[in-house]
Amino acid sequence: MTIYVKLGYTLLGLLIVLNWGFLMGATFRKIGARVAGRYGIPFYQPWLNLLKNISTRTTITHGVMYYIGPVFRLTGGVGLFLFMPMVFTGTVDGPWTNFSFEGDLILILYFQVFGMLGMALGAGQGGHPYSAMGIARGLAQHAAVELPLTLAFISIAIQFDTFSVYKIVAAQQGGFENWVLFTNPFAAATIILAMLGAMGHSPFNLVKAPNEILIGPATEFEGTYLGFMQSAGSILHVMEAVLFMNLVFGGASNWIELIVKTFLIYFWSVFVGMVFPRFKIEQSVTWFFKVPLLLGFLAIIIYSF
């Protein structure tokens, strides 16, 4: 497969991921509405919001970083996508494997932080006197989520003796009994619990809750910048779900399987969000350091010997 064909497939994949992200976001809002007994937003609302945001005539800027912040976040989402094998086709040179390479798991870990960093940089120049507090809270929670996730990733890497996401997916083929969910239950449990924080839904969504915490970075952006941020958020959501699907649930062999699996993974975080109210930052950080971190240590210890 030539590089141009591969590039074409990658761009097409990105378009699918963006739209699927919007649809998943709308589904989340719809489920939330139905739980509350409301009819809820139309399923196409995110596309309209994006159009509306792009079509605002006046936008205020607070400097260079204000421009770069949303771009950083988008880079995080797109970077995560570029190095992630989406669909398992039997060969790493296949159409939907994007630019997956040996050692991409480490790069993916890096790109996960990228989005948060973009928010922090943008908000830092947003002009809000208390934005530093919002950033500190966001990064504190993000660090608490990343630590158990990294331990689980390393445990899986030790298990399969590779840092390539593609090889991890390949090793899980041949039936659900080969999934990491069953072969490495401690790492899987760590990821499933820490994932709730990575997805950023309730109860771990205080960071991006503009109504309750007016110092949150997301309140300062408007117009096209906000449209950028929300598109990047949608891509990030799908890519997080795809990452966990690849690492724990055996990957996907076609797009339908990917959509079903990512929806179920996403639904898990939505389900928890509907049941539990919002945690304060100190509560969520303590929780991540208690349960998923201990499970992560167990996963590492078991596979180290």
What is the binding site for other proteins (CB under 8 A)?
Answer: 29, 33, 36-42, 45, 48-49, 51-52, 55-60, 62, 127, 210-211, 214, 219-223, 226
Cβ-based nearer residue to other proteins, 8 or 42: 42
Cβ-based nearer residue to other proteins, 78 or 270: 270
Beta-carbon count within 10 A of 16 CB: 16
Task: With beta carbons less than 8 A apart as the criterion, state whether 206 and 42 touch.
Answer: no
Quickly tell me which residue has 């990294």 as its tokens.
Answer: 150
Give the max Cα distance, the chain: 62
Cβ-based nearer residue to other proteins, 138 or 148: 138
Cβ-based nearer residue to other proteins, 7 or 33: 33
In the complex, the smallest distance separating the C-beta of residue 56 from other proteins, rounded to whole angstroms, is 4
Classify burial at 71, counting beta carbons within 10 Å of its beta carbon; exposed 0-12, middle 13-18, buried 19 or more. middle
In the complex, the smallest distance separating the C-beta of residue 197 from other proteins, rounded to whole angstroms, is 23
Beta-carbon count within 10 A of 93 CB: 10
Cβ-based nearer residue to other proteins, 56 or 91: 56
Closest to 258 (Cα-Cα) out of 269, 274, 246? 246
In the complex, the smallest distance separating the C-beta of residue 50 from other proteins, rounded to whole angstroms, is 9
In the complex, the smallest distance separating the C-beta of residue 234 from other proteins, rounded to whole angstroms, is 16
Closest to 292 (Cα-Cα) out of 86, 147, 141? 147
In the complex, the smallest distance separating the C-beta of residue 209 from other proteins, rounded to whole angstroms, is 9
